[in-house]
């Protein structure tokens, strides 16, 4: 990015009005899973980086894939409660040790746990945690005691501030007649019964907590049948969680609009819409390897930034990137060293706006440029701009930025590109229009000071 002199052409113009507040900045930089850090002297850790990014929430789905979190003995209900025939009211029936440690580490990083009740996805030939519980009511009681342990200190437990409790994950992923179901081994009707029983029980026991689900994989027709069923029985749904993997931020917004319409249609207009799995995926077959390569490079970082900016103006209440766990989908941290990749910095940059607190008005009609502006209680301003494109060999764009509503004395430019990692570039003259030239798949953060 190069700072230019004020020019005559004003076609690519973006206007930020710092006197017009639209509402709160939403938590669009939440993720799946927490930091990697051990309490011993092992030095490989990303705890300090994770903390600096200000990650607000960490969903613990698929945590049990990673040994560093505790592996097969962590998070999943069948791992915490290994013998389903045991007494659910007895502390001896539960194994909380590694889940406690992992949950505390998330809190140590400054994030809140978003707890997925159920099991990780299972790709192997034999299934364990994804099979329907033998007794849905008993499973609800088991979940009740997991919540009591982690939030109310039951069974020598903790007092963590865990607000969100999600029932299962992607029950729609495979149809009823599928041979090898990966996430829900029962039928659609069985899942509807499970959610009805568990959500009703947990909401009665913990009316102050948010109970929801179902972490929809993709099937909107399935979602409509689910909402119709629970609405007819007046089952609580504090949040509706759903997933999408794509290479176009606009598809995220389209899906969000349909989810919003369905929630309104079935009487859940007050339920939060939480997109708690998303990332760059071109497709799951021929271009899957290319997708993974993109996730860990600058284009993947720009895609993340674009989704965060665009989703702020949508009906989405929270975004949760999949995944901060060491895996192929982790564009934030290097698999081996745990040092930040390019994809880490949009989360850290967005956190500046999240901390500021309040979104401001922005006029932007430039294709492939995604923007968001914020202001804090001291009237300092923050602007995030992303030039994301999935097309190669695109030209740079000259952007004319106008700030109005408040007068600022100076502005500082920070940049994420091939050379810079959210680094200070220079102080800008804000006496007139600021012009910047953005290369494809770069992210800029401008801080305005009075």
pLDDT in tens, 192-246: 999 999 999 999 999 999 999 999 999 999 999 999 999 999 999 999 999 999 9
Q: Give dist(CA 163, CA 104) in Å, integer.
A: 15
Q: What is the pTM of this model?
A: 0.96
In angstroms, rounded to a whole number, what is the distance separating the alpha carbons of residues 29 and 423? 19
Report CA 351 to chain centroid distance, whole Å: 13
**Distance from CA of residue 183 to its chain's centroid?**
20
* DSSP states along 249-260: HHHHHHHHHHHH
Vertex 330: Cα angle to 328 and 67 (nearest 5): 75
Q: In which residue are the tokens 């271009």 written?
A: 287
The distance from CA 204 to its chain's CA centroid, rounded to whole angstroms, is: 28
Give me the residues of the chain with pLDDT under 50, please. Answer: 1-10
Q: What is the CA radius of gyration of the chain?
A: 23
Q: Name residues whose C-beta falls within 8 Å of residue 354's C-beta, 6 or more positions apart in sequence.
A: 25, 27, 28, 29, 54, 56, 374
Pairing of strands 442-449, 381-387: antiparallel
- Count CB-CB contacts under 10 A for residue 82: 12
Q: What local confidence, expressed as pLDDT, does residue 8 receive?
A: 36
- For residue range 85-107, list pLDDT tens digits in order: 999 999 999 999 999 999 999 99
Q: Return all residues near 67 (Cβ < 8 A) that are at least 6 apart.
A: none
């Amino acid at each position: 990015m190069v700072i230019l002199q004020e020019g005559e052409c004003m076609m690519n113009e973006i206007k930020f009005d710092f006197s017009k507040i639209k509402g709160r900045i939403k938590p669009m930089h939440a993720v799946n899973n927490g930091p990697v850090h051990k309490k011993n002297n092992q030095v490989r850790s990303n705890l300090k980086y994770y903390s600096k990014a200000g990650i607000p929430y960490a969903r613990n789905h698929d945590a049990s894939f990673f040994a560093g979190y505790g592996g097969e003995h962590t998070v999943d209900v069948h791992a915490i409660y290994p013998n389903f025939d045991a007494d659910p009211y007895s502390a001896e029936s539960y194994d909380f040790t590694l889940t406690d440690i992992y949950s505390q580490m998330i809190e140590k990083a400054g994030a809140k746990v978003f707890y997925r009740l159920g099991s990780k996805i299972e790709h192997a030939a034999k299934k364990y945690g994804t099979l329907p519980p033998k007794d849905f009511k008993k499973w609800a009681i088991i979940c009740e005691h997991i919540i009591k342990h982690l939030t109310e200190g039951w069974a020598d437990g903790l007092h963590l501030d865990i607000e969100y409790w999600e029932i299962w994950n992607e029950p729609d992923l495979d149809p009823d007649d599928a041979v090898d179901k990966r996430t829900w081994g029962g039928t659609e009707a069985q899942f509807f019964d499970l959610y009805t029983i568990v959500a009703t029980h947990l909401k009665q026991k913990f009316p102050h907590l948010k109970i929801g689900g179902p972490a929809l994989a993709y099937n909107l027709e399935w979602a409509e049948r689910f909402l119709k069923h629970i609405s007819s029985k007046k089952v609580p749904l504090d949040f509706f969680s759903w997933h999408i993997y794509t290479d176009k931020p606009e598809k995220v917004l389209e899906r969000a609009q349909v989810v919003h319409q369905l929630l309104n249609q079935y009487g859940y207009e007050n339920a939060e819409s939480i997109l708690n799995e998303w990332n760059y995926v071109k497709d799951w077959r021929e271009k899957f390897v290319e997708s993974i390569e993109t996730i860990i490079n600058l284009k993947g970082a720009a895609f993340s930034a674009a989704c965060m900016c665009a989703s702020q103006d949508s009906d989405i209440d929270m975004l949760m990137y999949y995944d901060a766990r060491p895996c192929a989908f982790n564009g934030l941290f290097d698999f081996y060293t745990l040092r930040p990749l390019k994809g880490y910095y949009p989360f850290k940059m967005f956190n500046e706006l999240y901390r500021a607190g309040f979104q401001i008005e922005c006029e932007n009609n430039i294709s492939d440029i995604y923007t968001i502006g914020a202001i804090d209680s001291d009237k300092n301003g923050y602007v995030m701009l992303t030039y994301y494109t999935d097309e190669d060999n695109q030209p740079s764009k000259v952007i004319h930025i106008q700030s109005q509503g408040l007068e600022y004395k100076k502005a500082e430019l920070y940049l994420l590109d091939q050379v810079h990692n959210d680094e200070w570039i220079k102080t800008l003259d804000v006496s007139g229009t600021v012009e910047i030239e953005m290369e494809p798949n770069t992210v800029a953060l401008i801080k305005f000071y009075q």
